[in-house]
Amino acid sequence: MPREIEAKLRPRHKSMAPEEVQQAAQALDGYRFQPQREVELWDGYFDTDAYDLIRHGYVLRLRRVDGQILAGLKGIPLRRGAVVERLEVEVPLPADTPLPPPAWPPAIQEVLGGLGVEETPLRLLCLLQQRRSKGLLWPQVGVPELDGQAGPLAELSLDRVSVYPPEATTGATHAQPGAQPWHQFDELELELLADSEADALRPLVRQLRKALGLKVARENKLETALRALSQLEPTPAGPVAGIQPEMPVAEACRLIWRVQLMQLVLNEHGARSGRDPEYIHDMRVAIRRARTVQRLFVDHWRRKRVRPFLKRMKQAGRALGRVRDLDVGLAGLARGRKSWPGMDGQVLRQLRRAWRQQRQQEHAALVAFLDREEWRQFIQELDRFCRTPGAGTPKRDRAPGEALHPYQVRHVFPNTLWHHFSLIRSAEALLDQGVELSAETLHGLRVECKYLRYGLEFSRHLLGEEGEALIRQLKGLQDYLGHLNDRVVACKRLQKWQARQDGSGPLDAWIEGEMGEIAGMVQEFPGHFRHFIRPENRRRLAIALARL
């Protein structure tokens, strides 16, 4: 299938003027810039109710441009740098084709059939309007790496992107009259036009990044749009980002779950590939955050209604965790080799080979889990739950004024978050008695730090600078305890592997060194802990929660 090579960059601030980009393009060393006309694009993106295409690394769209409709299928590349190569299929549709088309072009239908969704109904996910300012870049004569290049090397475009939710659209490629976008952002794109390799774009990317202060776009436009829409709630005054003080806790939790669901959907294709461990990490964090919602606010949904979701999340968390733990262990091997240069290289190679083989097995088990129909149904049903206000909410039959029942964010979040701060602080009593906390106790404390941090992050946009300061410090404390736990887990794995090698001790020095590091971290922990629970931070927490 045809492929495209392109680079996607974003401004570090929200917007960028076309004139600024044009000036930078005209000043590029070794290239000549030829401006083109501005065009308007309308892109409607489609998928199944279970996001089958996105979860497997595909984007399906209908594009309206210059009176023509184009059906397009693109691959989603892994996050590996500014320049990427990906699948691109684009087919013009006859003018009288109903939208979405009853039958997609054969090249697209082939992919749908491969995923087993060729007969599955598709729905509009969002509509993107793009005002594109573009131009062509030609190599100047005398540039060695571009000698022999006759035509334009690349097309440079600045896209001003406006995002519309499905309810603000009419048809597949039109916004309703008077509809306002829910989100806007800019993106700079370089598409290779010449028959060249990806390396031909890299000098251009370096110059443009330096001239305009650009950053690499780590996601495509659809991913940005879906993340933004997942965080927005409609109100009479327009969409509002994040939970709000007057919002019922059940609906706040639904919004948080919607955000985490989108994290699962957008990271699954990378987790399936297995080449970048960060996708697996991000999916695992999304599962943890979603489960934390129920842990913190358990009484605001009917347990029977959400129990199946929580069961599937727990299963997914375990499957992801087994792979992630091995990724951490393999990274630790490199650290161990540097820390203990006298270590037998052959032993390390054997250990690395054994862990990589185990990692392959666990990753295969993860992919098998993600391939199960139960996982697909989980995604589909959770998405429906997250888009249905009132679903799973206990009925409150009391008349107004008959009984007091806190149910809004401003009435529930402060007490809940303060309670979890108190659970963390309760370790103070043990430390005051001179008790040295065990690794198991410290792991439990790390979990409580995670609950408090996630709870604060769910409402961080409401908590001011005090909330931000607490989140930063909590992350530092949680990372410290996380590194400690990683070392404990790694030591157990090393000991287990060594026990299988007839009890020989080639790793004794390493294990002993790691145990010493663990003991040192345990001894240093009280200082980190007392720094976090100090009166200044208690005041910060009180002020942050008072903002609710």
List, for the chain, all residue ranges whose pLDDT scores fall below the cut of 70.
Answer: 141-150, 336-344, 396-402, 501-506
Determine contact, residues 544/499, Cβ cutoff 8 Å. Answer: no
Q: Residue 140 carries which DSSP code?
A: P
DSSP per position, 363-427:
HHHHHHHHHSHHHHHHHHHHHHHHTSTTTTPPP--PPTTTS----BHHHHHHHHHHHHHHHHHTH
For the chain, count helices (H), then strands (E): 16, 12
Quick one: tokens of 14? 């929200």
Residue 431 is predicted with a pLDDT of 94
C-alpha distances out from residue 91 to 4, 61, 70, 98, 230, Å: 15, 11, 5, 15, 30
Residue 337 is predicted with a pLDDT of 65
Residue 504 is predicted with a pLDDT of 55
Residue 344 is predicted with a pLDDT of 65
For 252-303, strand residue ranges (E) read none
Determine contact, residues 128/187, Cβ cutoff 8 Å. Answer: no
Return phi, psi of residue 233, to 5°: -115, 135
Q: Residue 100 carries which DSSP code?
A: S
Quote the CA–CA distance of 506 and 348 in Å, as a whole number.
9
Exposed/middle/buried for 496, CB within 10 Å: 0-12, 13-18, 19+? exposed
Beta bridge partners of 70: 63, 92
Quote the CA–CA distance of 57 and 47 in Å, as a whole number.
12
Each residue's pLDDT tens digit, 286-302? 999 999 999 999 889 99
Half-sphere exposure of residue 548: CA atoms within 13 angstroms, side-chain side? 28
SS3 of the chain: helix, strand, coil, percent, to 5: 55, 20, 30
Each residue's pLDDT tens digit, 142-160? 555 555 556 899 999 999 9
Residue 343 is predicted with a pLDDT of 63
Residue 349 is predicted with a pLDDT of 84
pTM, 2 dp: 0.93
Residue 41 is predicted with a pLDDT of 98
Residue 141 is predicted with a pLDDT of 61
385: amino acid identity, one letter: F
Quote the CA–CA distance of 410 and 248 in Å, as a whole number.
9
What's the chain's Rg over C-alpha atoms?
27
- Closest to 42 measured CA to CA, from 210, 200, 198, 172: 172
Quote the CA–CA distance of 356 and 330 in Å, as a whole number.
8
Determine contact, residues 265/386, Cβ cutoff 8 Å. Answer: no
Each residue's pLDDT tens digit, 206-217? 999 999 999 999
Residue 88 is predicted with a pLDDT of 95
Would you tell me how many other CB atoms lie within 10 Å of the CB of residue 209?
16
First to last CA, the chain: 54
Pairing of strands 83-92, 68-75: antiparallel
C-alpha distances out from residue 464 to 170, 279, 543, 548, Å: 39, 30, 9, 10
